[in-house]
Amino acid sequence: MHDNGFRPGGSGGSRSAIKTEGEHVSRVVRVGPLMPYLEEALVRDHGAPLLAGSGTSDAEIAVTSYGTGVTAETMDRLPRLKAIASFGVGYDTTDVAEAARRGISVANTPHVLDDAVAEVAVGLVIDVMRGLSESDRFVRRGAWAAGERFRLTRQVSGARAGIVGLGRIGTAIARRLAALDMQIGYYSRTDKGVEWPFHPDLLTLAKASDVLVVVTAGGPETAGLISAQVLEALGPDSFLVNVARGSVVDEDALVAALEAGAIAGAGLDVYADEPHVPPALLGRDDVVLLPHLASGTTQTRQAMADLVLANVACWLETGELVTPVD
């Protein structure tokens, strides 16, 4: 990992700490585990301690990850908190509404992981439709050598892809799938005015799709969005791919749909209770299971960490964040 170059305050990190009751207290605190490079930079440049156990801190900016987040209870332990810098594009594990109520600004790391997530989404579409992972297991268990023939699969080119959530990542996915000669449609909160057809109703999009790719934001507003009704509309010859948040899909309904043959298969990178995958999915050949790796490239993680550090540095210098969430 290279040195990110951020040195807020200019001399010995003096701007990274405040005096409270005669003690030298860091203005930055770490909430939960972070990637080593980011942790090292925060400790080196800001002396940022880890908020451990039931302890408290007078820090004004907290750095966290999607896996941990900052809850209202955690905010109670940070009485001087003014900003949260989250490592990840998703921030639904942080109580953003409560942060806003308390006047606490929140930043995430958008844009830098769009391409990496889009690559995995496209990979899942091809894998689940063409049965790549399944056929790999077929060869490894000796079925091909024993004279068995692998089943026929669904062609990707010419198929209809429905994108649920046409933000930056959704657009990156749509462009890649269009390059595979897939027909694109999308469902989003608003018509984006793009070249692909907009479906204001999710059921209509599901009925018009051979594969439904979920990339909408997580959180209470989208919990269970992909319901039994949506899966029924998708139909027995179509597939579901989820690279959004596990909470967006009703997992019980998904299991039931797969077991009943109501959909043809699913490609999943995210789950409702990570790292726990519903046991009913583990033995199914019509499901591709990934360990939430969509943004997991060396380049993306570096860029995400650097953006967190940029948010911290900018806050300490100006009281503003580089990438505040809406």
**Burial (0-12, 13-18, 19+ Cβ within 10 Å), 324:** middle
Are 218 and 92 in contact by the 8 Å Cβ rule? The answer is yes
The verdict on whether omega for the bond into residue 8 sits within 30 degrees of 0, i.e. cis, is no
**Burial (0-12, 13-18, 19+ Cβ within 10 Å), 155:** exposed
Tokens of 305: 């960490």
Residue 221 annotated among the catalytic residues of the structure: no
Are 155 and 131 in contact by the 8 Å Cβ rule? The answer is no
Sequence-separated (6 or more) residues with CB below 8 Å from residue 11: none
Choosing from 245, 259, 276, 317, the catalytic residue is: 245
Handedness of CA 23, 26, 27, 29 (dihedral sign): negative
Choosing from 292, 301, 317, 320, the catalytic residue is: 292
Sequence-separated (6 or more) residues with CB below 8 Å from residue 179: none
Are 38 and 65 in contact by the 8 Å Cβ rule? The answer is no
Cα gap 289→287, rounded to integer Å: 6
SS3 273: strand
Residue 245 annotated among the catalytic residues of the structure: yes
Choosing from 274, 276, 284, 320, the catalytic residue is: 274
Nearest partner of 209 among 186, 177, 180, judged by Cα: 186
Residue 160 annotated among the catalytic residues of the structure: no
Residues with a known catalytic role: 245, 274, 292
